[in-house]
Copies of this chain bind each other. A is one copy, B any other.
Amino acid sequence: MKKKETVTIYDVAREASVSMATVSRAINHNHNVKPETEKKVLDVVKRLNYRPNDVARGLASKKTTTVGVIIPNVTNSYFAALARGIDDIAEMYQYNIILTNSDGDEKKELKALNTLYSKQVDGLIFMGNEISEAVRSDMSNERIPVVLAGSVDSQNQFNSVNIDYRKAVYAQTNELLKNGNDRVAFVASHLNRSINKDYRIEGYKDALRDAGIPFRKTLLFEANEATYDSGYKLRNKLVQEEVTAAIVSNDDVAAGVMNSMSDSGINVPEQFEVATSDNTKLTEMTRPMLSTITQPLYDIGAVSMRLLTKLMKNEEVSERNILLPFGLKDRNSTK
């Protein structure tokens, strides 16, 4: 195999007997190129096996056609679903994504932002359960567009796409209340994260109030992590508070609490009901299957990326905070 020399736009220009500028125009399908010279150039491109260098292109044009994506954890099926939607639309619009796991940790988020800025990404998609002040100021100071996917901003400063968590939890809590539970728990990985504190718990309270049932702080439970195991460990606390139903903000955690109950002989849904919120595939794999809020996970990611492409092209966007429709799916973990 002969030594591989990098063939540049200059080589193409020489072989095609045109200028670099013309080659550039031809490969970028610029209108101002006579069809026959375009063909001539493209033929040489093919013959020399020329492939444009995006790095040089990026330096010259100040556009990298890559966007940064900050995700808590790809391993979390909720976020993974969004990521897939993001990548598909990115590809459709010729962008690539640099994916960085943050674990929802501010330090890691800041570090990621920094390297993403260095890499000159054209835009940013941020996923996380909260925007800390440091992250906020960091993202506000750069002029590259950002959109929050499945993530809220209490200050309402960034573009975002979500569902109406407050209304969704309200509706869901109502169902559990209607089934006769007056001690329904609310469990989340982190209670003080904005998405829970400002939205979901508010919806939970709304339902309680409408039903004339007092809100009890002791019925709020924290799993610490968005994992199956951390949900599984919650059983004793739940039992201690004589809870008969639970609204859970994450499917893995919900599966954990449900299995934990079942495994200890507590019948779900007869003696204990659990409802979850993401409608990931997992909700259909457990037995009983999990009743859940339904959200268009893939679409949240897809719409976020679509929004970002508009922002990156300085197009007008009608809605700054997009709310996608949600639903309630009744399965077997509730009566």
Residues of A within 8 A of B (CB): 1, 4, 51-56, 58-59, 64, 66, 73-75, 77, 80-81, 83-84, 87-88, 91, 96-101, 114-120, 141-143, 227-228, 252, 255, 259, 262, 281-282, 284-287
How many angstroms between the C-alpha atoms of A252 and B285 in the bound complex? 9
Task: Give the oligomeric copy count.
Answer: 2
Most chain B CB atoms below 10 A, which of A55, A91, A281: A55
How many angstroms between the C-alpha atoms of A58 and B100 in the bound complex? 20
Chain B residues contacting A142 (CB-CB under 8 Å) are 4
Chain B residues contacting A66 (CB-CB under 8 Å) are 98, 119
Asked if B101 and A99 sit within 8 Å, CB to CB, the answer is no
Q: What residue of chain B has the Cβ atom nearest to residue A88's Cβ?
A: B101
Asked if A64 and B75 sit within 8 Å, CB to CB, the answer is no
How many angstroms between the C-alpha atoms of A141 and B4 in the bound complex? 9
Asked if B284 and A228 sit within 8 Å, CB to CB, the answer is yes
How many angstroms between the C-alpha atoms of A84 and B100 in the bound complex? 9
Contact of A286 among B80, B91, B100, B287 (CB under 8 A): B287
Chain B residues contacting A284 (CB-CB under 8 Å) are 228
Contact of A97 among B83, B91, B98 (CB under 8 A): B98
How many angstroms between the C-alpha atoms of A309 and B117 in the bound complex? 23
Chain B residues contacting A80 (CB-CB under 8 Å) are 74-75, 77, 80
Contact of A282 among B118, B119, B285 (CB under 8 A): B285
Asked if B99 and A97 sit within 8 Å, CB to CB, the answer is yes
How many angstroms between the C-alpha atoms of A119 and B80 in the bound complex? 24
Could you name 23 residue pairs across A and B whose Cβ atoms are closer than 8 Å? A51-B118, A53-B59, A54-B115, A54-B118, A54-B119, A54-B120, A55-B55, A55-B120, A59-B59, A66-B98, A75-B77, A75-B81, A75-B84, A80-B80, A83-B99, A87-B101, A88-B101, A91-B100, A96-B116, A97-B98, A98-B98, A227-B281, A259-B285
Given that A98-B66, A143-B4 are known contacts, is A262 also in contact with B287, CB under 8 Å in the complex?
A: yes
